[in-house]
Amino acid sequence: MNTTKVKRRVGKYELGRTIGEGTFAKVKFARNVETGEPVAIKILDKEKVLKHKLVEQIKREIATMKLIKHPNVVRIYESLLCLPPFSSPLMLLKNQISKANHGRMREDEARRYFQQLINAVDYCHSRGVYHRDLKPENLLLDAYGNLKVSDFGLSALSQQVRDDGLFHTTCGTPNYVAPEVLNDRGYDGATADLWSCGVILFVLLAGYLPFEDSNLMILYNKISAADFTCPPWLSFGAMRLLARILDPNPMTRVTISEILEDDWFKKDYKPPVFEEKYDTSLDDVDAVFKDAEEHHVTEKKEEQPTTMNAFELISMSKGLDLGNLFDTEQEFKRETRFTSTCPANEIISKIEEAAKPLGFDVQKKNYKMRLENVKAGRKGNLKVATEVFQVAPSLHMVEVRKAKGDTLEFHKFYKNLSNSLKDVVWIPEEDVKDQAAQSKNNT
């Protein structure tokens, strides 16, 4: 009896084991049957990509990576995100760290990986590409121990900056993200990437994160103040470089050109060796997703509110004081948020019940609402958008923002709305005590 296992093929590639898996894709080890060359293939879940309207993002990621042709950055063949030849097993840098002594690397080994990382990031920046999610999980190693930067899903091009010359999209991974990104006032992509490189270097040398805490607000404060301590086994040169990179002020933070001249960094430095030219096309991507628009029209209704992760909470509310719906400091703001322990559908119903007597038409879709005042105001009809996010199984956050119309009229609206939602808004126990004490003092 023949028990030989039949292997699956995608085009000229024979698929092997799964080496990584995310929300929308799997990465599998594969081999080119014509050349015997080992590669990695990123296989996307088409239905999820279409449902979440990620087609343009995928095209943008591939187009971005076409600009990056560097030996320390993953490269693309055809329309699939693939990596240069690897021998089995393909390795994440994070796995290599865990295998190191006490989870940390020798300085010479960490320096070599960091040199390659800086080479790759410097090249990306020279092409106007900013990664914005640098971390060990997105760094791969080939059979020769060469580092490869991967996953440009959150990358941005220099053309995407606003008139102030800065990026304003808060993204990345909390422990590795720069303080100016968390401050939500705009940031320079190059200096933000460099901060993440500094955190990676610290992890390589120390075996643990420089900024870590289970309390999000404490974590945020540590990052903002660059509150970290180097372990005693680091050399003075390594400590000095880390201090220059992990500078909370992006204006005084060391630049890549200055890092290239750093004595600790320059030891045993080897410049990158570039590979042969290559190219890829977006034609196959267009063909695969040609039914995208049709799918968008018929996409399934979501049954649960959008889940909000911890990092999104940090970026949306600097103080994480989500219990207070109407803060006096928000007098001139166009949006506000509050938390509630009520079920999501009950929150939606309560808002609808409160808005209609105020003269608003209500349109609902999943856990999003569009409220429009039937009576025109100073700047036309006031339109208000609301959305319910799930923070935890029994906790939701509600965002209320002005979509169109006069800001002062919006303020008046949400103050009236708040009076009708007192039984919906969740107020932490300590705030209840503070309010009771204040009321007692006033009497």
E-state strands within 22-164: 25-32, 38-44, 76-77, 80-81, 91-92, 129-130, 139-141, 147-149, 156-157
CB 367 within 8 A of CB 351: no
Is residue 194 assigned to a domain? yes
327 and 233, same structural domain? no
Report if residue 294 sits inside a domain.
no
33-42, 75-84, 349-358, range with greatest mean pLDDT: 349-358
Q: What is the pLDDT of residue 84?
A: 45
Q: Provide the residue range defining the domain that includes 110.
A: 90-266
State the chain's mean pLDDT as an integer.
75
Residue 424 counted as domain residue: yes
Same domain, 339 and 261: no
Q: Which of 237, 266, 295 is the last residue of a domain?
A: 266
Q: pTM for the whole thing? A: 0.55
Residue 292 within any structural domain of the chain: no
Question: In angstroms, rounded to a whole number, what is the distance separating the alpha carbons of residues 281 and 95?
Answer: 33
The share of the chain scoring above pLDDT 70, in percent, equals 61
Query: What is the three-class DSSP state of 129?
Result: strand
Catalytic machinery residues: 133
Higher-confidence residue of 263 and 145: namely 263
The string of pLDDT tens digits covering residues 247-288 is 999 999 999 999 999 999 999 999 887 765 545 454 555 555
Task: Assess whether 95 and 223 both reside in one domain.
Answer: yes
Same domain, 241 and 352: no
Q: Say whether both 243 and 313 belong to one domain.
A: no
Task: Report the pLDDT value the prediction gives residue 314, as an integer from 0 to 100.
Answer: 52
Q: Which pLDDT score, from 0 to 100, does residue 197 have?
A: 96
Instruction: Check which CATH number belongs to the domain holding 388 and give it.
Output: 3.30.310.80
pLDDT at site 427: 58
CB atoms within 10 A of CB 143: 14
* pLDDT of 86 over the 70 cut: no
Please tell me what DSSP assigns to residue 430: H
Among residues 218, 234, 266, the one where a domain terminates is 266
Going from the C-alpha of 370 to that of each of 177, 322, 351, the distances in angstroms are: 33, 22, 11
Mean pLDDT of 71-100: 53
Over residues 74-89, the mean pLDDT reads 48
Asked if residue 42 belongs to a known ligand binding site, the reply is yes
391 has pLDDT over 50: yes
User: Is there a domain that residue 209 lies in?
Assistant: yes
226 lies in the same domain as 347? no
Kindly state whether residues 132 and 259 are assigned to the same domain: yes
256 shares its domain with 311: no
Based on the fold, state whether residues 337 and 238 are members of the same structural domain: no
Question: 250 and 171 share a domain?
Answer: yes
Same domain, residue pair 120 and 233: yes
CATH number of the structural domain spanning residue 94: 1.10.510.10
> Does residue 393 sit in the same domain as residue 313?
yes
The more confident residue out of 42 and 265 is 265
Q: Per the structure, how many domains does the chain have?
A: 2
Which helix (H) or strand (E) segment holds residue 14: the answer is: strand 13-21
DSSP character string of 297-353: HTPPPPSSPEE--HHHHHHH-TT--TT-SS-GGGTT-SEEEEEE-S-HHHHHHHHHH
